[in-house]
Structure 1
Amino acid sequence: MMMKNLFFLLLCFVALVSCENATVEEIAPDPVIINSLANFEITKDPTDAFKYNFKNLSKDYTRVEWRFGDDTLTTVIDPSHTYLGTGDFDIELKTFSETGTVSRKVVKINIHPDSVMKITYDKTGVPDELQLGIESKANIKSVLWTFGDLAPAGTSTLINPVKKYVSGRLNTITAKITTVNGSVASITKNNMTSQGLVGDATKEIESFTVSAENNGSAAESSKSIFDNNVETKFLLGGNANRAFTWPIVITANYATAQTIKIYAIGNANDSPNRDPKDWTIQGSNDGVNWEILDTRSMAKNFYNQKVDEGINDDTKRYKQLFYFGIANPKPFTKYKLVITANYNDALMQFSGWSLYK
């Protein structure tokens, strides 16, 4: 018993000595972390549509990195950047704090060709002739024009070329500009005519009337006239449900006056002698007094016109649009297509009537 007590006292003595010799390790405080906050604003340069100015609004940073989405980088605090082309660009700002933290902000911008440049035109006084030009929100160094109405396509490097077009056709035109800073933009329009650029006014028609209706087939009724779809057609004649008498009159009504410069009539999918042969286009602002704007008498049906052009594929002879210009366009709220004859067929059909302003 005495031996056990001595052993216990010895253990306590050893433990006490060990505690006295131990060193106390102090715990270091957590480091202070500084978080930067990336932020910026963008302004377009008023003299160059390709140039943007960036103002850094970030906080608690020691350095920055800007990336402009076109493989360029800068560490300038408040940079400006000129893009060399159009498109979508991701602008990224990274800020770095003195403790190494990183903050990031990304903004997407779009430089669209139509926001940079615009094709302009003026009539020269010569029928079907235009003087072309460019309006641009940048200083232009050079222009390349490509005219798709010619085969092969014609070109010009004049800033303001004079161009003569065949009346009653939609043509393709491309203008490519290079600015004094080396930026490049290009636009292509498929709606250039001898009257200038036109827009589709068919979809703006508020209502319409017809002098005869196809009551036997909704798929071939008058709703096909203005649907802008050559796969459908308006068919009259052959039975009592679609009876008609000449002239066939289609009247399109607009809420506000439209200046129609060119129109198109489409042939259907078969039977070319049913095509309209003779017609007039008339305009009115009151529905009582009508002015004749265009008169046509076609020597050949639409199908045979395509044959004469050397087209030997029926898929390109049928279901096509044929364009006609209006020599002296004026604003009217009502337009009337008056068809007086076809090619001696008992039935009459066409795929549609499109109007362009």
Structure 2
Amino acid sequence: MKINTQLPMKKLMKPLGLLFCMAAIVSCSKKDQPLPVDVTPINPLSDFTITADPSDALTYMFTSLAKNDIKLAWRFGDDSLSTDSNPTHTYQTTGNYQVSLETTSKTGNTSNKYTNLLLDPNKILQATAVKTEVLYQLQFGITINAKIKSAAWTFNAVDPVTAVVKTTTSTSLTPLVSFAYGSFNNFSLTVTTDKGSVVTISKSVTTDGIATDVTQTNVGYSVTYDNTDNTNENAAKLIDNNTQTKFGYYSAFPGDENIQLTFPAPIAVKLYAIENGNDSESTRDPKEWYIEGSNDGGTTWSQVDHQLLTIGFADYLTSIGQYDTRYYRYFYYPIANPKAYSMYRWRIVSTFAGAFQIMEFKLFE
């Protein structure tokens, strides 16, 4: 029997045709796929303005000036976030806040702008103290650009002889408080607004009114004789606002020691303060000095105050039973007739035993 090894042509062509069609389909599908297109990035621009609310000192309006944006993210520096275009935000307390705006474009590109917003409590809230017809009595008041919900005062009246502190409080908007003549006292004021914001300030006060330390606002400082042997106790320590550092000069001054401060504009100093040293009893305390002022660059000087002590600071405190706290103490001297000067100097004529040391010297207006 003969076996036929040739397949019929029709049977052979069927699979070949099928393969051809499949190849054609694949080829066609490849041609139909779109080629990748490079997307041009759209770069946004972040920009904005900040406007204070005229009726509330802790509320601000933020206006976006962004370009090419589809999404905004505001951060106000106090853990709060907004996606509004032009949000309004009320801060709950004072401080230095970093405000940022992140802008996103439709291609996902981002841009950021940052700016600092300082809410200074002493610029937002002011306390006033006016003399009344009662001797050594002051009436306090509050100035703030906001609606006041509540006020809390704490007054620390310091006895000028014993330094004993008597603390009183008040919730009045206009409390009346009396102080001892020659005393240097302090108070704090906390105001809560109707929006829940809280602002606190602390001030010093005498029987003449509120006293503000202006020492650090000086634009020039010099002394006639400095401690060049020890920079840790040189004249710069006298006004560094650090009660633990001191200016020491451990021999007699060759002449009058002039400690001079220059201010950008004339200031009427109402009182000054001297913090005594940390050892040596009163031997290094100043004994006689003048406070003088000048408005002609130091060519001529006018007397503002003069003191001649019969007992030093530490010895005086010991004499009234305060031996254990006789050091690191402030002594305050009111100016009888304050006048405005652009330059002040503390002219030390003598000390109790030649050498000199003082921790801090301060001027108040």
In structure 2, give the amino acid aligned to 1:80: T
Distance 1:148 1:32 in 2: 72
Give yes or no for the alignment of 1:181 onto 2:162: no
1:314-353 alignment, distance < 5 Å: 316-332=325-341, 333-337=343-347, 339=349, 342=352, 345=353, 347-351=354-358, 353=361
8 Å Cα contact 1:143/1:157 also seen in 2: yes
1:16-27 alignment, distance < 5 Å: 16-21=17-22, 23=25, 24-25=28-29, 26-27=32-33
**What is the root-mean-square deviation in Å for CA atoms of aligned residues?**
4.8
In structure 2, give the amino acid aligned to 1:155: T
Partner deviation per Cα, 1:155-212 (whole Å, 9 max, x = no partner): 22222333344455554322111222222211223x44444222233773746665xx
Give yes or no for the alignment of 1:252 onto 2:260: yes
Partner deviation per Cα, 1:129-156 (whole Å, 9 max, x = no partner): 4433333232323321222346463222
Greater Cα offset, 136-145 or 215-224: 215-224
8 Å Cα contact 1:225/1:353 also seen in 2: no
C-alpha distance 51-302 of structure 1, shift in aligned 2 (>3 A): same
Give yes or no for the alignment of 1:144 onto 2:176: no
Of 230, 233, 239, the match for 2:248: 233
8 Å Cα contact 2:151/2:192 also seen in 1: yes
Q: Which residue of 2 aligns with 1:276?
A: 286
Distance 2:195 2:58 in 1: 9
Distance 1:188 1:68 in 2: 26
In structure 1, give the amino acid aligned to 2:60: Y
Unaligned runs of 5+ in 2: 1-5, 159-164
Distance 1:74 1:215 in 2: 57
In structure 1, give the amino acid aligned to 2:273: A
C-alpha distance 280-28 of structure 1, shift in aligned 2 (>3 A): closer
C-alpha distance 28-269 of structure 1, shift in aligned 2 (>3 A): same
Distance 1:40 1:27 in 2: 42
CA drift at 1:262: 1.6
Distance 2:33 2:355 in 1: 99
8 Å Cα contact 2:227/2:249 also seen in 1: no
Of 167, 191, 201, the match for 1:153: 167
1:33-52 alignment, distance < 5 Å: 37=44, 39=46, 41=48, 42-52=50-60
CA drift at 1:324: 1.5
Q: Which residue of 1 aligns with 2:162?
A: none
8 Å Cα contact 1:283/1:336 also seen in 2: no
Q: Which residue of 1 aligns with 2:61?
A: 53
Aligned length: 338
SS in 2 for 1:272: coil
Distance 2:67 2:299 in 1: 71
Give yes or no for the alignment of 1:302 onto 2:302: no
Unaligned runs of 5+ in 1: none
SS in 2 for 1:307: helix
In structure 2, give the amino acid aligned to 1:85: T
C-alpha distance 12-146 of structure 1, shift in aligned 2 (>3 A): farther
Q: Which residue of 2 aligns with 1:201?
A: 215
Partner deviation per Cα, 1:220-258 (whole Å, 9 max, x = no partner): 998478554643323444xxxx666xxx56363647644
Distance 1:226 1:203 in 2: 15
C-alpha distance 114-260 of structure 1, shift in aligned 2 (>3 A): closer
Give the TM-score normalised by the residue count of structure 1. 0.69
C-alpha distance 232-63 of structure 1, shift in aligned 2 (>3 A): closer
C-alpha distance 202-173 of structure 1, shift in aligned 2 (>3 A): same
Q: Which residue of 1 aligns with 2:276?
A: 267
Distance 1:154 1:259 in 2: 30
SS in 2 for 1:182: coil
In structure 2, give the amino acid aligned to 1:18: L
Distance 1:85 1:120 in 2: 21
Greater Cα offset, 141-150 or 281-290: 281-290
Distance 2:332 2:137 in 1: 17
Give the TM-score normalised by the residue count of structure 2. 0.68
Give yes or no for the alignment of 1:132 onto 2:143: no
1:7-22 alignment, distance < 5 Å: 14-21=15-22
CA drift at 1:341: 6.7
C-alpha distance 219-183 of structure 1, shift in aligned 2 (>3 A): closer
